[in-house]
Amino acid sequence: MPEMPEVETVRRGLVPHLSGSIVSFVDLRRPNLRFPFPENFEEILTGAKIERIDRRSKYLLFRLSNGYTWMSHLGMTGVWTVGSEGKGKHDHAYFEFDDGMKTAVYTDHRRFGFMDIFETSNESEQKWLATLGPEPLTDDFTVQILKSNLHEKRSPIKSALLDQRVVSGLGNIYVSEILFRSKVSPIKTAAEVVGKSNKVNAKIQRIFENTNQVIAEAIMVGGSTISDFRGVSGESDLGYFAQQFRVFNREGEECIEENCKGKILRIVQSGRSTFYCPKCQK
């Protein structure tokens, strides 16, 4: 599933093409993706100008001139492509802008993505956004807030960091990398990692710092290459952060840390693969 760095890469790709453009035609090729398209979706979009394109966590937010926000979630395999004619089997939504001078297509062969539209003034009540926690690389994300959000959680620290109410935007790949760099076992409960003291301990401080660092590095290189991740111009040669994986997808390989002869293990937590070094992450 595209995580925050991949969605940010898509957002940055869309901005120069669609920001400032007017939606002139909408063609929905099916009634639903993961969920049905909203009622009056086409009518609300048509004629509206995209004033800017934002992102919150893993959601793309197209801010419209008519007071609405058009939201897109990529799910597992969603792809936005600009300049496409949209004739593929899985091209489920086709859009024209500026009287056909520009086009964009949303493609999703597994249809786990979805779109919504809501009044921008009501964003704080929007069900997909209202419960999101603070986002890395923002002023709202502090080490004290991270400690507070993890306090007394009995779930493994890996699962706790995937909880979008604790930190928004993190996914399986990056949490494995964050915990490895922080030298924290993914098996430990969040409460054990936080500890009983009111002070921020070294483990939480490392997790906080490495969360920002890993996400910043991933955004800088276009995220991580996953099977269906494409840039908005159709390019697949993105996601160079995969070349920097220290544990993810390295099961059975030797740990890259100097003087560590451990081998990377893979376990399953909450239905997802976790990769870690049992020697570095005791």
CA distance 88 to 105: 10
* 272: annotated active-site residue: yes
The single residue of 2, 5, 156, 186 carrying the catalytic annotation is 2
Residue 130: CB atoms within 10 A of its CB come to 10
* 135: annotated active-site residue: no
The 3-state DSSP class for residue 224 equals: strand
Map tokens 């004739």 to a residue. Answer: 87
* 58: annotated active-site residue: yes
**In 3-state terms, the chain is what percent helix, strand and coil (to 5)?**
30, 25, 50
The single residue of 55, 111, 188, 272 carrying the catalytic annotation is 272
The encoded tokens of residue 157 equal 């620290």
Reference 115, options 126, 100, 103; nearest CA is: 126
* 3: annotated active-site residue: yes
Q: Which residues contact 35 (CB under 8 A, 6 or more apart)?
A: 114, 116
The 3-state DSSP class for residue 24 equals: strand
CA distance 169 to 165: 10
CA distance 160 to 179: 12
The single residue of 3, 96, 135, 177 carrying the catalytic annotation is 3
The single residue of 5, 6, 56, 58 carrying the catalytic annotation is 58
In this structure, what DSSP letter does residue 125 have?
G
The encoded tokens of residue 148 equal 């507070």
Residues annotated as catalytic (active site), given as ranges: 2-3, 58, 272
